[in-house]
Amino acid sequence: MYVVTGGAGFIGANLVKALNDRGIDDIVVVDNLEWAEKFKNLVDCEIADFLDKRDFLSLLEAGQLRGDLQAVFHQGACSDTTEQNGRYMMENNYEYSKALLYLCQEKRIPYIYASSASVYGAGPVFREEREHEAPLNVYGYSKFLFDQHVRRILPRKTAQIVGLRYFNVYGGREQHKRRMASVAFQFFNQYRDNGQVRPFEGSDGYGDGEQQRDFVSVEDVVDINLFFLDHPAKSGIFNVGTGRGQTFNDVAMAVVNSVRRLEGQQALALKQLQQRGIIKYIDFPGDLKGKYQSFTQADMSTLRGAGYAGDFLTVEEGVDRYVQRFLYTGSESARQTAAK
């Protein structure tokens, strides 16, 4: 049996589907469906059971989960980087993660959990080392503090512990995240609704739309999770990006041109999109000043050193697949979700 916490969410539901593709359906999904929209992510998945996150730990501790537990993928968290309730954030992202870690160590269960590139703050070096870590918000701090706790546990671990520092993930099954969904999702809905995409104007010395992030497809994220599942002797904290920083303009171009190709129109260059008003820059939000990562680019040497040899999709490749497989075909429901 496998457990996926946050299993009705974005990355969690993609993991459940990937396990299904391996012929595995003995999966317990743990989540909180007070936000009921997330159930749609699991409609095409096969699972053995669903547990509310508030009940899961006590059942696991009491040994009341049936079956031999093979691994826990801990994807559940509050991922709202603008959340100001520090107590709520620490309870969800730090204390809950610690409790689950201790139970997995006690029962010798592999534990693969979601960390975040937010631990690095403003950078400019994105390597899994303490000297480069300085989170800009309480979300990033909650992830950083748990990584620090894991570092203390690793030398005496009883089972695999893997922390995966996700960079900017995009892809299918993220519609429920609404304003916290990826830039690719937001740009698609802006273009379909208004014929425009609206990146931020320049900030921190970057030109309009030229801020750079390491955008990584959820397909690649899932592959890395499964790599560690297949290699239980490997533990540690690892970046999960592509090793390439690409601009928000790149994402905007990829989204618009993917839709244009699907509609039988020619792709346009950045300057053409700007001149036609298809890309229109908006004011940089005042509440994000000093709390915004204008540049991220994962150092992938630790992951490569662990033996992961897979290639990563570029923004152009990954966004095109995303638009074709999920967004364009379901654009009506996607627009309705984004508008709520």
Kindly list the catalytic residues: 139, 177
Q: Report CA dihedral (225, 227, 231, 236) to the nearest 10 degrees.
A: -50
C-alpha–C-alpha distance, residues 125 and 131, integer Å: 9
Residue position matching structure tokens 């936000």? 35
C-alpha–C-alpha distance, residues 58 and 124, integer Å: 41
- The burial class, CB within 10 Å (0-12 / 13-18 / 19+), for 159 is middle
C-alpha–C-alpha distance, residues 325 and 51, integer Å: 29
- The burial class, CB within 10 Å (0-12 / 13-18 / 19+), for 241 is buried
Using CA of residue 59, residue 63, residue 67, residue 70, what is the dihedral sign?
Answer: positive
Please state, as a whole number, how many other Cβ atoms lie within 10 Å of the Cβ of residue 62.
8
Structure tokens belonging to residue 169:
């993930």
Helix axes 218-230, 10-21, angle to 10 degrees: 60
Structure tokens belonging to residue 314:
């570029």
Cis peptide, bond prior to residue 110, ω within 30 of zero? no
Please state, as a whole number, how many other Cβ atoms lie within 10 Å of the Cβ of residue 244.
17
Residue position matching structure tokens 């508030």? 54
Contacts of 51 by beta carbon, 8 Å cutoff, 6+ apart: 28, 29, 30, 59
